[in-house]
Structure 1
């Protein structure tokens, strides 16, 4: 299972006229990716309620849409993100509850419509996650999250990510092409194409092949992380300033990279091995994200779905002057 990188689609929700546009956009996205009328209708219903919820509780925020490639077909991810003063999630999960004085279907009903529902709210705001799959798709949800945004909403993004799954093994790539815009994207995509051919090859061999493919482009920073659930180990190699962290409920550790530019020049590359990582979170991020975040500042967030974590890190720590990518993966030996 190879999953090529794509940007997060952002729909601002600042007044009621945008709810209908969001509903139509999400429904059409679902239909385009194989959802039948009933399942696409669920996507439309959930989108409407999440957008309405933003206006009720936060007055403004955004919906973030993503297509989730599957072994057969695809799923649709819808995230509601705001910066309000927080609200009582437990109360809001009661059907019909509304602090806005209107009778919605309630987030409890939303959670039943979606195959995956998770949320996190505190004084900084709230993030609500839904993932919907066709009812005929019984494959378990893959616990990863990605938030990727181009500078100034440029259609070209100099960051790329790629994920591959093979039974208990996961291989992840993040490349940040130098600068931003079309030339940065061209550099990063040249590396991604090589990675996609053999994502579970030795990371040093992959790095060497990617380096050669990126010669003649701007080059970029790179990180490759490979998890093997059978051996409960992670191997990591990085060149440049892609950040990497392993997060456990009680500790976190940074992943070591070497200086240099892939496609340009780097003096050495060395893979680092980390043992007993099952149950931990792997977080990879480009330098469009500040590095001073700490999940301990968000009580309980480490136990939330990786997509919620990625959205919150982007919301609170995006620098706003470069493309930004946040990839969060739950390292679990049970991946099918």
Structure 2
């Protein structure tokens, strides 16, 4: 299964009129991706309550929407993101609790409408995740998350991400086309097309395929990570300034890249192998994200859903002057 990268749809929530817009946008996204009236109604209900919650306890924030490709259709992801002074999570999860003093259905009731619900809140703000799948979709949730945003919300994004799955094995790609805008996106998409043809090929040969495909474009920085679930190993190869880390609850390791430009010029790249990575998080990010973040500064965040982690990192460490991609994947062992 291949998942081609898409931008995160961002909806500001700053006044009550935007709650209705968020509800309609989320419902329309669900309908466009095959949800029937009942399931699309659940999406609309959850979007309404999450947007209302942002407005009530934070006065302003955002909803982040994404369609999630599945083996037999799509799911819908909604993230509520704010920078308020935290809130009483246990109280908010009680049915009927409303931080604004009005009767709401409560986040507890929202959590029962969703297939995945997770929260991280501290003094810097809160991120709430809801994922909803069709009632007929019984496949397990994939523990991955991505937050991708173009500079100034342009339609074109020079960052590209792509994920391929073979059972529990994963091959992940992040490209940052030089600069931003349409030409940067053209460079990234050329590399993505080559990657999608054979994502589990030898990383060195795969990088050479991307290089040939990106010649004639601006070129860009590229990183490829391949996870072997049965062996518990990760192979990483990178050219340029795509950042990557392996995160465990008690430690983290940065993954090394080589200098150069794929589609331009680089010396032969060496892949690096990492053992015993089952249970780790793989985090890959373009240079639109500052590199000085440390998950240990966020107690408990390493145990939250990868989509929550990606949203927190984007919220707190975006440089604000380039396209940004944060890809977070939980590396889980294969089961017989």
Q: TM-score range by the shorter chain?
A: over 0.9
2:299 matched to 1:282? no
The structure 1 segments of at least 4 consecutive aligned residues displaced by more than 6 Å after TM superposition are: none
2:247 matched to 1:247? yes
- Which residue matches 1:144? 144
Aligned residues: 336
Once residues 113 and 200 of structure 1 are traced to their aligned partners in structure 2, the CA distance between those partners, rounded to angstroms, is 37
Once residues 268 and 254 of structure 2 are traced to their aligned partners in structure 1, the CA distance between those partners, rounded to angstroms, is 19
Report how far residue 334 of structure 1 moved: 4.1
Report how far residue 99 of structure 1 moved: 2.0
1:335 to 1:140, Cα distance in 2 relative to 1, 3 A: farther
Contact 1:167 1:335 (C-alpha < 8 Å) held by counterparts? no
SS at match of 1:218: coil
Contact 1:281 1:330 (C-alpha < 8 Å) held by counterparts? yes
Once residues 236 and 279 of structure 1 are traced to their aligned partners in structure 2, the CA distance between those partners, rounded to angstroms, is 17
- Which residue matches 1:162? 162
Once residues 166 and 60 of structure 2 are traced to their aligned partners in structure 1, the CA distance between those partners, rounded to angstroms, is 40
SS at match of 2:273: strand
Contact 2:230 2:334 (C-alpha < 8 Å) held by counterparts? no
SS at match of 2:156: coil
Matches within 5 A, 1:166-181: 166-181=166-181
2:70 matched to 1:98? no
Report how far residue 159 of structure 1 moved: 0.1
- Which residue matches 2:54? 54
Report how far residue 201 of structure 1 moved: 0.6
SS at match of 2:3: strand
Superposed CA deviations along residues 287-324 of structure 1, whole A, max 9, x for unmatched, are 00000000000000000000000000000000000000
- Which residue matches 2:272? 272
Report how far residue 268 of structure 1 moved: 2.4
- Which residue matches 1:34? 34
- Which residue matches 1:82? 82
Query: C-alpha root-mean-square deviation of aligned residues, in Å?
Result: 0.9
SS at match of 1:290: coil
Contact 1:221 1:239 (C-alpha < 8 Å) held by counterparts? yes
- Which residue matches 1:134? 134
- Which residue matches 1:185? 185
Contact 1:142 1:335 (C-alpha < 8 Å) held by counterparts? no
Report how far residue 88 of structure 1 moved: 1.0
Once residues 108 and 94 of structure 1 are traced to their aligned partners in structure 2, the CA distance between those partners, rounded to angstroms, is 5
Matches within 5 A, 1:107-126: 107-126=107-126
Report how far residue 90 of structure 1 moved: 1.2
Contact 1:169 1:335 (C-alpha < 8 Å) held by counterparts? no
- Which residue matches 1:11? 11
Superposed CA deviations along residues 251-297 of structure 1, whole A, max 9, x for unmatched, are 00100000000000001200000000000000000000000000000
Once residues 175 and 219 of structure 2 are traced to their aligned partners in structure 1, the CA distance between those partners, rounded to angstroms, is 9
* 5+ long unaligned stretches in structure 1: none
Once residues 335 and 156 of structure 1 are traced to their aligned partners in structure 2, the CA distance between those partners, rounded to angstroms, is 40
